[in-house]
Structure 1
Amino acid sequence: MPLSVGMSLLIILAVALTTFATRVVPFLIFPKGKEIPDVVQYLGRVLTPAVIGMLVVYCLKTTPVLSAPYGIPEAAAVLVTAGLHVWKRNNLLSIGAGTVLYMFLVQAVF
């Protein structure tokens, strides 16, 4: 079902306002000069690695390790991604190279 122009503009406006609000709220809650609570600082340190760990588990949870190709493409992509990230500390490079390697392996090799 196609949307009318008005409805499309309303959706775009709602998304823009929501995005703007998520960017502004932290500055309203924690203005310059106000002490950031310890719990917020703690969450800032631990949430990124926790989310990345959850994404890795989610992506690898259905990897077939008991049947061909035995998780080889996934393992190679994870090792390349981790190795490149440790070496170069470049998120775009490590994730991009790991993704390209995985897609090459599953499309052309296995």
Structure 2
Amino acid sequence: MIDTTYALGVLAAMTVVTFGLRALPFLAARWLQSHPVVQKLGRFLPLAIMTLLLLHTLVGSARQNPSGPWAELAAVATVVALQWWRRHALLSILAGTALYVLLRNPGLVA
């Protein structure tokens, strides 16, 4: 049987640690924003994450589809070309998604 005092003490310790971990970034925000490593990561990390997500999606989709990665590559090329040309993220994403859906489901075009 568990002692009530022990259980409450464990809950209190967990509460303090959880609150401290959640509050730490806000307390250290001023120092973190001016730190050069954090600034460099802020410039580099979003692109790196998006690249890894894209590669993971392309490889996973190519493994599942017997026709190969051509629909994915065409959609990615469309997104890149539209983004480079128009600089409009929503337009690029919508056009690339629509092309991908149409290439993967040719029965949709009647």
Q: TM-score band (shorter)?
A: 0.5 to 0.7
Q: What is the percentage of aligned positions where both structures have the same residue?
A: 36
Structure 1 gap segments, 5+ residues each: 1-21
- The 1:105–1:28 alpha-carbon spacing in structure 2 relative to 1, beyond 3 Å, is same
> How many residues were matched structurally?
84
Q: Distance in 1 between matches of 2:58 and 2:32?
A: 42
Q: Which moved more, 1:73-82 or 1:55-64?
A: 55-64
Larger fraction in helix: 2
CA distance in 2, matches of 1:99, 1:76: 10
Q: How far 1:25 moved relative to its partner? A: 6.8
The amino acid across from 1:39 in the alignment is V
Q: 2:51 aligns with which of 43, 50, 53?
A: 53
Q: Give the structure 1 partner of residue 28 of structure 2.
A: 29
TM-score normalised according to structure 1 size: 0.63
SS at 2:105's partner residue?
helix
Instruction: Tell me how large the CA RMSD over aligned residues is.
Output: 2.8
Q: 1:35 to 1:44 in 2, by over 3 A?
A: closer
Superposed, which structure 2 residues align to 1:1-110 within 5 Å? 28-31=27-30, 36-62=34-60, 63-64=62-63, 67-68=66-67, 70-108=68-106
> TM-score scaled to structure 2, two decimals?
0.63
The structure whose Rg is larger is: 2
Alignment-derived partner of residue 16 in structure 2? none
* Distance across 1 between alignment mates of 2:39 and 2:94: 30
